[in-house]
A and B are shown apart, each in its own frame.
Chain A
């Protein structure tokens, strides 16, 4: 399974990166390939490429604040989760996606 994610948070920057790292760690643990773009106060980092977006089975977006350039994901299954849940429940989120998407 391949995944993409975009994380962002309305205040500060910590949660953007906590959520990104947490998803990356959980994905690795479950042998899932994931690329995570961060949209923090620093700006956009690790921007997802169109090639990767085309390949992935689903996209995870944090829903605490609007995600920039969301139109690139048109036609892809999108899962919206709070940054807080990404941080604290990343493993369960990845496992559930594996179950659903195979």
Chain B
């Protein structure tokens, strides 16, 4: 099963807060049937966010929730129409968001490997630029799936 699909991509998300972004992307994950309990999943993401911000710098955030309410490992992507405050490491507002949904029973450290693989890739300016500019959703999906393939098959 693909970790990210076209339905999980929003290239024009209008939001004014972290919660709004998480809710909107969470709805996309729910819409393709990968959540058994929407509220339960959203709570797990917001609880994680309260521990420390998942704003990793470069205008990017990777909020995530590992929860019994998730049925399969999923990544949703959003480009925000206007950047929002995320208490990021470099204090820059966020414009690119990856929301991760990981089942409790997920074998091993799958979600950690996804974050690790994404993080490494995000250092590269050309990758970030594509995230910010690609207009074709399918192209974006394929690029992200390719990036994560190595991390997940292990």
Interface residues of A (CB under 8 A from B): 11-18, 20-22, 25, 38, 40-42, 84, 87-88
Contacts and interface: CB of A to CB of B under 8 A. Distances in A.
B15 interface: no
B81 interface: no
Given A14-B119, A25-B123, 5 more contacts: A11-B52, A14-B115, A17-B119, A18-B119, A18-B120
B119 A42 contact: no
Give 7 closest A-B pairs by Cβ, nearest first: A17-B119, A21-B123, A21-B120, A11-B52, A17-B116, A14-B119, A18-B119
Interface of B: 51-52, 54, 56-57, 62, 89-90, 109, 112-113, 115-124
A88 B119 CA distance: 13
Contact of B112 (A21, A22, A41): A41
A36 B126 CA distance: 22
B116 A88 contact: no
Dominant SS among interface residues on chain A = helix
Given A20-B120, A21-B120, A12 B113 contact: no
A16 B117 CA distance: 11
A20 B124 CA distance: 12
Given A41-B109, A87-B57, A88-B57, A15 B89 contact: yes
Contacts, number: 59
Nearest to B57: A87
Nearest to A82: B89
A11 B87 CA distance: 15
Nearest to A41: B112
A23 to B, nearest CB: 9
Contacts of B62: 14
A21 to B, nearest CB: 4
B89 A13 contact: no
A13 B115 contact: yes
A40 B112 contact: yes
B123 A18 contact: yes
20 contacts: A12-B52, A13-B115, A14-B56, A14-B116, A14-B119, A15-B56, A15-B119, A16-B116, A17-B119, A18-B56, A18-B119, A18-B122, A21-B120, A21-B123, A41-B109, A42-B112, A84-B57, A87-B90, A87-B123, A88-B57
